[in-house]
Amino acid sequence: MTLTTSRLGITNSLFVALLGVNTYTLASVLIPHSTLTLTNQLIAPDGFQRSAIVVNGEHPGPLIQATKGDGFMVNVVNQLTDPTMQRAASVHWHGLSQRGTNWADGATGVNQCPISPNHSFEYTFTGGDSQAGTFWYHSHYFLQYCDGLRGPLVIYDPEDPWKNLYDVDDESTVLTLADWYHTPFPSIPGFPLPESTLINGKGRYPDGPNVDLSIVNVEKGKRYRFRLVSLACETSYLFGIDGHQLQVIETDGQNTVPVVVDKLRIFAGQRYSFVLDANQNIDNYWVRSLPANGMPKLVAGYEGGINSAILRYRGAPISDPQTNDNQNLILLEEAKLVPAQDPFPPGNPTAGGADFNVTLNFVLDVDLASGEPQFKLNDKVYRPPSVPILLKILSGARRPEELLPEGNLFSVPRDKVIEVTVPGGIAAGPHPMHLHGHTFSVVKSAGKNNQPNYLTPVRRDVTATSQEVDDYITIRFTTDNPGPWLLHCHLNKHHESGMVVVFVADVDSVAEENPVPDAWNDLCPIYDALSDAEKEVKIVSSLPMPV
């Protein structure tokens, strides 16, 4: 039994053993100095058994908890063996800025070579003095996180400005949303459609077995800060809880002025904290998370408990809810979110009021050789380089064409304001765009009725493009963090199909400000020594049977 500490000052695994309970939210908590062991295991989170990637024997991976200012030392041990999925691995710490530790950002081809099977690598970094909130971790190696390498990460702030709004904020109030597939992800052609929705690792698929759903326990009269994390690969979710409103107070690790809504749409990679007041009758209530994309019966609703979990008041009967979906609802609008501190974006309060202005007009077409979709920008398709961009910089390369032969790379000076515009109507959208190493101000959110906001735009690290051709989104950030950083669509297959650009900030300062450990230098030689057979992924067509 692994004993891990928590903010409650008790070893959670021992506590669970004594109580005889087995729930994701109590059993799976790690501190910042921890080990993540990656293995393959047969799991059936929705009742359909398949081989998957688990972290410390679990999917989703264990919650990592820290306190503002903590340093992280996370040793990733790769024991992956299943050839139907990627066996090398990496871990990206989504939303953490990695100042001074660009090498620990986890994006293969940019910041590191992957961790080879039967090897380990320790990521050491800090959230700094400023970062707190809701984050997550996941593989950044090809399509790997869709097969299971993903989990939540929370940095608690003892001086949270909104702590007077809630009574409970712990491992029991972390909610993860994930799409799930019955086939190993590399074997699914085109843009995959989810077969089920998992809430805290449990769900059902249409016409599947009546397996247990996740239970979210509350006590009447208490206020709960729920931390909602989208671990999704290929879809967004419309999320709500019957009979309860959601008071949103955090967006992607950034405190926001509280706003009360009935439902919110959360895109892949995004996070929200909301306060739920358990002020309703003691009963069971449906937690609903409807995917925008998926198999036809999955996106149709909630029949048979699909796309659902249960909010259960203490004292309520052990039964399925009889509640109805909220119909007359207030939906969260990104454009109305306001930062709680320092609301002004960088640059001048005018269109194009930045040092550098970039428009990313991606075009979807088909790779004639493979028949797979691909995204082009400036008639180029991003291909992850075999030698990581950071390693090239440390070896003396400077020019964009040296750093990234296939794709689009922007080398920009330090402390400059970058304005990035992505037009609407790009095929297969909306596209949740994620920037590594920074937060950005969304000076123009998707929606033709949303006007540019140069005074109080929300700050976050994932925002979605518009589906309307005559619309656009615009973000701004400052190049105050030297290193190569990805900006990409967080729909995983879109990322792998080329919807990616790289920004290199202050290339001449990268080596001095990001000293790499010896173990990092060993990653590429170890991986390069693998045989083609050890790197190859086996494509499968047959499926295991439901359990």
Q: How far is CA 26 from CA 74, 171, 469, in A?
A: 20, 7, 46
| pLDDT for res 454 | 98
- Round the average pLDDT of the chain to a whole number and report it: 94
pLDDT above 90: residue 26 = no
* Residue pair 76/123 in contact by the 8 Å Cβ criterion: yes
* Residue pair 26/14 in contact by the 8 Å Cβ criterion: no
- Examine the fold and report which residue of 332, 365, 391 is the final residue of a domain before the chain moves on: 332
pLDDT above 60: residue 94 = yes
- Looking at the structure, tell me whether residues 57 and 137 fall in a common domain: yes
* Residue pair 346/354 in contact by the 8 Å Cβ criterion: yes
- 490-540 confidence digits (pLDDT tens): 999 999 999 999 999 999 999 999 999 999 999 999 999 999 999 999 999
Helix or strand run (H / E) with residue 226:
strand 223-230
pLDDT above 90: residue 24 = no
- 383-423 confidence digits (pLDDT tens): 999 999 999 999 999 999 999 999 999 999 999 999 999 99
- 371-380 confidence digits (pLDDT tens): 999 999 999 9
Express as a percent the part of the chain with pLDDT over 90.
Answer: 91
**Domain-embedded: residue 120:** yes
Residue 543: pLDDT band (50, 70, 90) is low
d(CA 491, CA 502): 17
Give the start-end residues of each E strand in 385-482.
409-412, 417-423, 432-435, 440-444, 459-460, 462-464, 472-478
pLDDT above 60: residue 5 = no
- Looking at the structure, tell me whether residues 165 and 147 fall in a common domain: no
| Listed residue (269, 268, 261, 263) closest to 288, CA to CA | 263
Residue pointed to by tokens 């454009």: 335
Please give the structure tokens belonging to residue 362: 């991606």
**Domain-embedded: residue 210:** yes
**Domain-embedded: residue 13:** no
In whole angstroms, how large is the CA radius of gyration of the chain?
A: 22
- 179-227 confidence digits (pLDDT tens): 999 999 999 999 999 999 999 999 999 999 999 999 999 999 999 999 9
Domain around 401:
356-529
d(CA 4, CA 64): 10
DSSP state of 423: E
d(CA 273, CA 159): 16
pLDDT above 70: residue 1 = no
Residue 128: pLDDT band (50, 70, 90) is confident
> Partners of 156 in the beta sheet?
67
pLDDT above 70: residue 545 = no
- Looking at the structure, tell me whether residues 145 and 174 fall in a common domain: no
Residue pointed to by tokens 């922007």: 410
Helix or strand run (H / E) with residue 532:
helix 532-535
pLDDT above 60: residue 27 = no
Measured over the CA atoms of residue 326, residue 329, residue 330 and residue 334, the dihedral's sign is positive
- Examine the fold and report which residue of 159, 183, 207 is the final residue of a domain before the chain moves on: 159
Mean pLDDT of all residues in 282-293 = 99
- Looking at the structure, tell me whether residues 282 and 391 fall in a common domain: no
- Looking at the structure, tell me whether residues 384 and 517 fall in a common domain: yes
DSSP H stretches of helix in 348-501: 389-394, 400-403, 492-496
- Looking at the structure, tell me whether residues 50 and 182 fall in a common domain: no
| pLDDT for res 317 | 98
Peptide bond into 62 cis (omega under 30): no
- Looking at the structure, tell me whether residues 168 and 297 fall in a common domain: yes
- Looking at the structure, tell me whether residues 203 and 154 fall in a common domain: no
- Looking at the structure, tell me whether residues 177 and 283 fall in a common domain: yes
- Looking at the structure, tell me whether residues 184 and 155 fall in a common domain: no
- 145-183 confidence digits (pLDDT tens): 999 999 999 999 999 999 999 999 999 999 999 999 999
Least confident of 66-75, 326-335, 340-349: 326-335
- Looking at the structure, tell me whether residues 239 and 386 fall in a common domain: no
| pLDDT for res 28 | 73
- Examine the fold and report which residue of 159, 189, 214 is the final residue of a domain before the chain moves on: 159
pLDDT above 60: residue 22 = no
168, 171, 175, 176: CA torsion to nearest 10 = 160
Interacting residues of 71 by C-beta distance below 8 A, sequence separation 6+: 32, 124, 125, 126
**Domain-embedded: residue 9:** no
| pLDDT for res 542 | 54
Residue 21: pLDDT band (50, 70, 90) is very low
Write the single-letter amino acid at 155. I
236 vs 545, which has greater pLDDT? Answer: 236
**Domain-embedded: residue 542:** no
In the chain, the number of structural domains is: 3
* Residue pair 93/60 in contact by the 8 Å Cβ criterion: no
| pLDDT for res 10 | 29
| pLDDT for res 541 | 83
Query: What pTM, to 2 d.p., does this model score?
Result: 0.94
Please give the structure tokens belonging to residue 32: 């910042």
Pairing of strands 119-126, 71-78: antiparallel
Please give the structure tokens belonging to residue 61: 């991976």
**Domain-embedded: residue 292:** yes
Give the start-end residues of each E strand in 139-222.
150-156, 174-180, 196-199, 215-218
- 298-343 confidence digits (pLDDT tens): 999 999 999 999 999 999 999 999 999 988 799 999 999 999 999 9
**Domain-embedded: residue 536:** no
| pLDDT for res 327 | 80
> In CATH, what number is assigned to the domain containing residue 223?
2.60.40.420
- Looking at the structure, tell me whether residues 409 and 498 fall in a common domain: yes
**Domain-embedded: residue 541:** no
